[in-house]
Amino acid sequence: MKVHLAGLAVALLAALAPAVVEGQLYNTAKQKLMDGKQIIGGTISSPDPAIYCAMANAGFDYLWIEMQHSPLTYQEVALMIRACPGAAAIPFIRVPDATEGDIQKATDIGALGIIVPMVSSVEKVENAVRFASYPPRGVRSQGGGQYGALWGSTYRKTANDNIMIIAMIESPAGVEIAAEIAAVPGVDVVFAASSDLRSFSGYSQGEPEYEALITAIHDETLKAGRKLGGPVAWRNREGFSFFQAPPATSLIRQGAKALLTTTGSGVAPIEGSSRQ
């Protein structure tokens, strides 16, 4: 019965998958960046498909699925992504590391963004590009997965154009080679990890030493023609266009506080009318 239901789910996804042609961008987050706009991603670390789908339909451009600092498994994330095909937010995964196995699994289950943590060597981000890309650009094997059901029957011809690589610089060692990281072919975004840069450097935001690190990432990234990422609190910083919003738990807490301090309209919503 489980096998039968799984087959029905894949068939349903395939029916809902977009009809795409080679070279077409269905990664709407990437297209928006290419158009010179800012994009924001909500952070997910819960395996609950209902929470995932609520975030995916809340207005975010992409979802930052957190697999480095959470116990999420690839099976759980596959089910989450499969729960709401056609959601506006594109699935991105911060993988535990830039290993072939992690990146292969992330792309096979449908992620169109690979967020690579702790980049302090050029080799690490080069490997991420290779493992996420089909030949001739990379060494990704064909395998299987739900990617075709999510993104169409021509996925293997279009994946290299749609999958994004986001390189996170989290330490002064990474800042020292920011120019080399940004210059790696296939890197789309260089992300300045605000909290970890503070942790590893010992300096706080606003201090000259800290701001010098951010400026170095900023200048080298934009000079290389890449997009620059950071926390959503930095939306007004010049040059930044790729942002990570707080996790779902934080947004739930903020939403609850807002609800409890806001005067109601006097009209009760109809149960089941809100989009999940």
Q: So which residues are the catalytic ones? A: 69
- Token pair recorded at residue 119: 């980049």
Contact criterion met (CB below 8 Å) for 243 and 33: no
Q: CA 65, CA 166: separation in Å to the nearest integer?
A: 13
- The answer for residues whose C-beta is within 8 angstroms of residue 205's C-beta and 6 or more apart is 194, 198, 211
- The answer for residues whose C-beta is within 8 angstroms of residue 150's C-beta and 6 or more apart is 13, 17, 81, 82, 85, 110
CA terminus-to-terminus distance, the chain: 27
- Token pair recorded at residue 181: 């990281």
Phi and psi at 168, nearest 5°, equal -95, 125
> Which of 201, 182, 203 is CA-nearest to residue 191?
182
**Pairing label, strands 39-44, 227-231:** unpaired
- The answer for residues whose C-beta is within 8 angstroms of residue 11's C-beta and 6 or more apart is none
Sign of the CA dihedral with 157 first, then 161, 162, and 164 last: positive
**Pairing label, strands 39-44, 90-94:** unpaired
- Token pair recorded at residue 124: 């690490």
Contact criterion met (CB below 8 Å) for 165 and 132: yes
Q: CA 61, CA 151: separation in Å to the nearest integer?
A: 16
